[in-house]
């Protein structure tokens, strides 16, 4: 993983690696149920990997508080259950997304709904959310539970917002697009930082700085995902042009259209059933009119804002790790 490889240069890496190994065991335990097919499906998804960005950020932000009790004298809570909750919430959302998108694969393995059906997949995602709730009592009175409840609602609203704008270019402006990706992606990454800091005993004011940092890199992360959708499937392991097929207008397309308004392109993009040739025309339009390059500029701007936020906090190995993670997420290839 690019993130872990980069963090090897930081002395926190060995500690993080150990926590992620413990997290994997905890996640697999949460997959257990009395129904073998459910257990096997969920274990397959967990074992397939993932970047573990949210729990990693939570742990690093926890360290900023827990390793500096002279600066942040608040009560320190254990971090592993929070890491597990965040990853379960994220994984459940991916399982539900795969049903909505009718995706064939996730992380190189066949999606649950393709093996066991849509109903089983939806219930499997719900089961992971229920398992996550088992840990809420640990963080009572810290503000963490309220933050996670708010984020869960925002993630759902982000999905509704996106669904309401499919194939509708008039409704999907750049501002609307940013609102969607913040709800669907950036807010959970920001909450991972915020909740991790609170669990480490950091005061809410400084934890809020880390939330803002997380939302910036979360936005950059989603923008990079949107760019990767314009690259070949050989490079990313995913079919290219999926967003355009599904009527989702991401920033590269919106910025290209802003630079070169074209009625024919607008009409083609709004078409619900497109041929592969038409998909190719739209993807070429985005590349020819600098949609990718302009989005890359936005990613770098988010990275700069994230690192600027960190400057408000005392220097420490955890802060350095967060800065390195921002750079790594900006430059990731997959």
Write out pLDDT tens, residues 57-96.
999 999 998 877 666 666 789 999 999 999 999 999 999 9
Q: Is the separation of the CB atoms in 124 and 96 below 8 Å?
A: no
How many domains does the structure of the chain reveal?
1
Q: Is the pLDDT of residue 21 over 80?
A: yes
306 close to 216: Cβ distance less than 8 angstroms: yes
Three-state secondary structure string covering 67-109:
CCCCCCCCCCCCCHHHHHHHHHHHHHHHHHHHHHHCCCEECCE
**Average confidence (pLDDT) over 315-332:** 88
State yes or no: pLDDT of 333 exceeds 70: no
* Secondary structure percentages of the chain, helix, strand, coil, to 5: 70, 0, 25
Q: Name the pTM for this structure.
A: 0.93
Output the domain CATH number for residue 235. 1.10.600.10
Domain of residue 146, residue span? 2-331
| Residue 3 confidence (pLDDT) | 54
Residues 6+ apart with CB under 8 A from 302: 216, 217, 219, 220, 223, 330
How many Cβ atoms sit within 10 Å of the Cβ of residue 234? 7
In tens, the pLDDT along 291-319 reads 999 999 999 999 999 999 999 999 999 99
Q: What are phi and psi of 106, to 5 degrees?
A: -145, 125
CA atoms of 327 and 324, how far apart (whole Å): 5
pLDDT class of 267 with cuts at 50, 70, 90: very high
| Per-residue pLDDT at 328 exceeds 90 | no
Average per-residue pLDDT in the chain? 92
């Amino acid at each position: 993983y690019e993130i872990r490889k980069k963090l090897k240069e930081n002395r926190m890496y060995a500690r993080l690696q150990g926590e992620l190994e413990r997290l994997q065991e905890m996640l697999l335990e949460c997959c257990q149920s009395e129904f073998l097919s459910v257990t096997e499906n969920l274990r397959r998804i967990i074992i397939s990997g993932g970047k573990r960005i949210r729990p990693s950020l939570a742990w690093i932000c926890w360290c900023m508080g827990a390793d500096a009790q002279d600066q942040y004298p608040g009560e320190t809570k254990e971090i592993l259950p929070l890491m597990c909750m965040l990853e379960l919430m994220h994984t459940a959302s991916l399982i539900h997304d795969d049903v909505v998108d009718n995706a064939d694969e996730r992380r190189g393995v066949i999606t649950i709904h393709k093996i066991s059906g849509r109903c089983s997949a939806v219930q499997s995602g719900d089961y992971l959310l229920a398992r996550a709730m088992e840990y809420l009592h640990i963080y009572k009175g810290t503000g963490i539970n309220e933050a996670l409840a708010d984020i869960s609602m925002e993630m759902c609203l982000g999905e509704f917002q996106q669904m309401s704008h499919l194939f509708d270019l008039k409704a999907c402006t750049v501002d609307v697009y940013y609102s969607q990706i913040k709800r669907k992606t950036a807010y959970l990454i920001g909450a991972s930082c915020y909740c991790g800091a609170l669990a480490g005993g950091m005061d809410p004011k400084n934890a809020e700085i880390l939330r803002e940092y997380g939302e910036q890199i979360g936005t950059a992360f989603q923008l990079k995902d949107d760019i990767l959708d314009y690259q070949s499937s050989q490079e990313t392991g995913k079919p290219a042009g999926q967003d355009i097929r599904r009527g989702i207008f991401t920033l590269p397309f919106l910025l290209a259209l802003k630079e070169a308004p074209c009625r024919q392109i607008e009409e083609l993009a709004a078409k619900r059933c497109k041929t592969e040739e038409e998909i190719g025309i739209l993807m070429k339009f985005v590349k020819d009119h600098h949609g990718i390059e302009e989005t890359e500029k936005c990613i770098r701007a988010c990275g700069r804002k994230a690192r600027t936020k960190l400057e408000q906090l005392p220097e420490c190995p955890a802060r350095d790790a967060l800065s390195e993670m921002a750079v790594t997420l900006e430059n990731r290839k997959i």
